[in-house]
């Protein structure tokens, strides 16, 4: 086992209490074990999960919290058993960094649904009893299995949001076979997740309709992202024209909203996947029963599908719309994200600003 990194301080930004305010912090990463990859973090995307745990919204935050689970970087060192990575490789780390590796879900590369619970990239208790710390930091040590190859021609800044926002919408699309040209997709909400759903939909050859409460999103939806239609969901007349027209809907909205209204847009046998987190979901059963419709939930995605998605993005030149910021701007960025003031994902330039 290498001892390199055992005493080296890892620079980071952390929240110390439920104010969520982030400031510089230093801690020690574990030494690189035989199955580990050490990654110099160049970029880290900002996700709403960073707000959830820095501000203790679930009541389980373990301070100090170093957030960040959309990580892209360059391999610094590999353990003696590592087969798939070498020093200098471009890699990504997503929302979890460990799992039991022995249950039916792990065996099926659905590690995020590990029967014993996946270990999150930050604010989770690792097998050695330490608290995981995320990508608002200078480097990370992670088991090879939970590391993903990023093709050299794909920008690391663009790769970071794929590790959560991208895979969160790609997973239900693949599960529901929404990669078949000619099908119709509705996307509720046009933020970090929604804009990636539109990009994937167009790459798959789907007819894409964006459903939003904000008219200000129309220009980007149609002209920047290439959606086929834009509908204001509060306009009953516009919504009426879409009834029974969509094969599939991805619901990325986390604010409370009517589900009956959206379910009525699905064709017979259509499905809605919920990836946002409203405070409750209410709908009339008749809207499922008569249309033979279904509603499902979806988390991020397993290691196999994550690598497939990264390769698909590289092959098809699919890039998230990002705003790159220095780490010193992170508190302002989190506030802007809460207020939906970002097009469409903040990415921290760790390499050039975390010194």
Indicate whether 46 belongs to any domain.
Answer: yes
Regarding whether 127 and 91 lie in a shared domain, the answer is yes
DSSP class per residue in 144-193: GGGEEE--TTS-HHHHGGGGTHHHHHHHHHHHTTTTSTT-EEEEE--SHH
Buried residues in 268-291 as b, exposed as e (16+ CB within 10 A): eebbbbbbbeeeeeebeeebbeeb
132 Cβ neighbours under 8 A, 6+ residues apart:
97, 119, 120, 121, 122, 123, 124, 125, 126
Regarding whether 348 and 218 lie in a shared domain, the answer is no
Indicate whether 312 belongs to any domain.
Answer: no
Whether residue 98 contacts residue 189, with contact meaning beta carbons closer than 8 Å, is answered with no
Regarding whether 111 and 25 lie in a shared domain, the answer is yes
Regarding whether 65 and 173 lie in a shared domain, the answer is no
Indicate whether 115 belongs to any domain.
Answer: yes
Helix (H, G, I), strand (E, B) or coil at 110: coil
Indicate whether 308 belongs to any domain.
Answer: no
Indicate whether 310 belongs to any domain.
Answer: no
Range of the structural domain that residue 257 is part of:
166-297
Q: What is the pTM of this model?
A: 0.93
Q: Give pLDDT, residue 4.
A: 45
Among residues 76, 97, 81, which one has the least CA distance to residue 10?
76
Regarding whether 146 and 24 lie in a shared domain, the answer is yes
Q: Give pLDDT, residue 1.
A: 39
Regarding whether 150 and 13 lie in a shared domain, the answer is yes
Regarding whether 243 and 139 lie in a shared domain, the answer is no
Rounded to 5 degrees, φ, ψ at 271 are -135, 150
Indicate whether 313 belongs to any domain.
Answer: no
Regarding whether 208 and 159 lie in a shared domain, the answer is no
Regarding whether 156 and 29 lie in a shared domain, the answer is yes
Indicate whether 62 belongs to any domain.
Answer: yes
Regarding whether 64 and 14 lie in a shared domain, the answer is yes
Whether residue 142 contacts residue 37, with contact meaning beta carbons closer than 8 Å, is answered with yes
Indicate whether 292 belongs to any domain.
Answer: yes
Whether residue 38 contacts residue 141, with contact meaning beta carbons closer than 8 Å, is answered with yes
Regarding whether 330 and 291 lie in a shared domain, the answer is no
For 36, the token pair is 């580990």
Question: What is the CATH classification number for the domain harbouring 111?
Answer: 3.90.180.10
pLDDT in tens, 63-106: 999 999 999 999 999 999 999 999 999 999 999 999 999 999 99
Question: What is the CATH classification number for the domain harbouring 170?
Answer: 3.40.50.720
| Residue corresponding to tokens 């890039």 | 319
Regarding whether 13 and 115 lie in a shared domain, the answer is yes
The count of domains in the chain is: 2
Low pLDDT (below 50) residues in the chain = 1-6
Q: Give pLDDT, residue 8.
A: 58
Q: Give pLDDT, residue 2.
A: 44
């Amino acid at each position: 086992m290498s001892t390199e990194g055992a005493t080296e301080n890892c620079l980071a930004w952390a929240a110390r209490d439920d104010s969520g305010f982030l400031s510089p912090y230093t801690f020690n990463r574990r030494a690189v074990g035989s199955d580990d990859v050490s990654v110099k973090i160049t970029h880290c995307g900002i996700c709403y999960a960073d707000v959830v745990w820095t501000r203790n919204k679930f009541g389980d935050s373990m301070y100090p919290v170093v957030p960040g689970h959309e990580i892209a970087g360059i391999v610094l060192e590999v353990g003696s058993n590592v087969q798939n990575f070498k020093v200098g490789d471009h890699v990504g780390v997503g929302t979890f960094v460990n799992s039991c590796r022995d249950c039916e879900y792990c065996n099926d590369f659905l590690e995020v649904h590990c029967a014993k619970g996946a270990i999150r990239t930050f604010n989770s208790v690792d097998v050695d009893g330490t608290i995981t710390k995320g990508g608002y930091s200078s480097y990370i040590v992670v088991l090879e299995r939970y590391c993903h190859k990023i093709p050299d021609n794909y920008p690391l800044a663009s790769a970071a949001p794929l590790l959560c926002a991208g895979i969160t919408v790609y997973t239900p699309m693949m599960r529901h076979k929404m990669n078949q040209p000619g099908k119709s997709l509705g996307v509720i909400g046009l933020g970090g997740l929604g804009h990636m759903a539109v990009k994937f939909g167009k790459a798959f050859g789907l007819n894409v309709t964006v459903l939003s409460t904000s008219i200000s999103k129309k220009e980007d939806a149609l002209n920047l992202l290439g959606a086929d239609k834009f509908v204001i969901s509060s306009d009953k007349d516009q919504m009426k024209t879409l009834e029974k027209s969509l094969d599939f809907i991805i619901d990325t909205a986390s604010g409370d909203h009517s589900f009956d209204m959206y379910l009525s847009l699905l064709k017979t046998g259509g499905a809605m996947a919920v990836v946002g987190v409203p405070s409750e979901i209410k709908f009339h059963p008749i809207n499922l029963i008569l249309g033979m419709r279904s509603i499902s939930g979806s988390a991020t995605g397993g290691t196999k599908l994550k690598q497939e998605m990264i390769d698909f993005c590289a092959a098809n030149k699919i890039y998230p719309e990002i705003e790159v910021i220095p780490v010193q701007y992170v508190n302002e960025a989190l506030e802007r994200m809460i207020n939906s003031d970002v097009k469409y994902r903040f990415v921290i330039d760790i390499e050039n600003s975390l010194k």
